[in-house]
Amino acid sequence: MRILIIDPAAFSRTVLRRIMEDAGYAIAGEAGNSEQALAQYKSASPDAVTIDLTAASLNGVALIRRIRDLDSSARILAISGMNQSALSQNAILAGAYDCVTKPLEESRLLAALAHAQLLLNEP
């Protein structure tokens, strides 16, 4: 499965990349802002996307909606900070299939990505 990582923090993208690659996932690309994210999504056609909802410079919920407008079957995993249940709920309503919280638990992230893999294999 090829994953696009969307997070304005280079350090966070590096951590996510390491976890995903160590688990056998391929990285389709990385983006630090909404414009880059949309361009990467269009050009790379990833199987799944992770979007950081907590960054002030990135309106993650709006980006989820924009990606879903491009691809109604997009598999989007939202990542939010702790104590942001309203934001997480908005992400699910916007079209994310799941939301994991920071600080990231590697096992929870990988379980959510396995769910995306299952969604990918559904007809």
DSSP-assigned states of every residue in 54-118: --TT--HHHHHHHHHHH-TT--EEEEEETT-HHHHHHHHHHT-SEEEEESPPHHHHHHHHHHHHH
The Cβ of residue 84 has, within 10 Å, a number of other Cβ atoms equal to 16
- State the pLDDT at residue 87: 85
Residues with Cβ within 8 Å of residue 61, at least 6 apart in sequence: 53, 87, 90, 91, 94
pLDDT at 49 over 70: yes
Query: Which residues constitute the domain of residue 38?
Result: 2-121
The pLDDT of residue 47 is: 96
Mean pLDDT rounded to a whole number for the chain: 92
pLDDT at 83: 72
Which residues pair with residue 81 across a beta bridge?
A: 102
Q: What is the pLDDT of residues 67-104, one digit of tens each?
A: 999 999 999 999 987 777 888 899 999 999 999 998 89
Residue 97 has, within 13 A of its CA and on its CB side, a CA count of 20
Q: Specify the number of domains making up the chain.
A: 1
pLDDT above 70 as % of the chain: 95
59 pLDDT tier (thresholds 50, 70, 90): confident
CATH code: domain of residue 23: 3.40.50.2300
Q: Model pTM?
A: 0.93
pLDDT at position 56 over 70: no
Q: What pLDDT shows up at residue 123?
A: 62
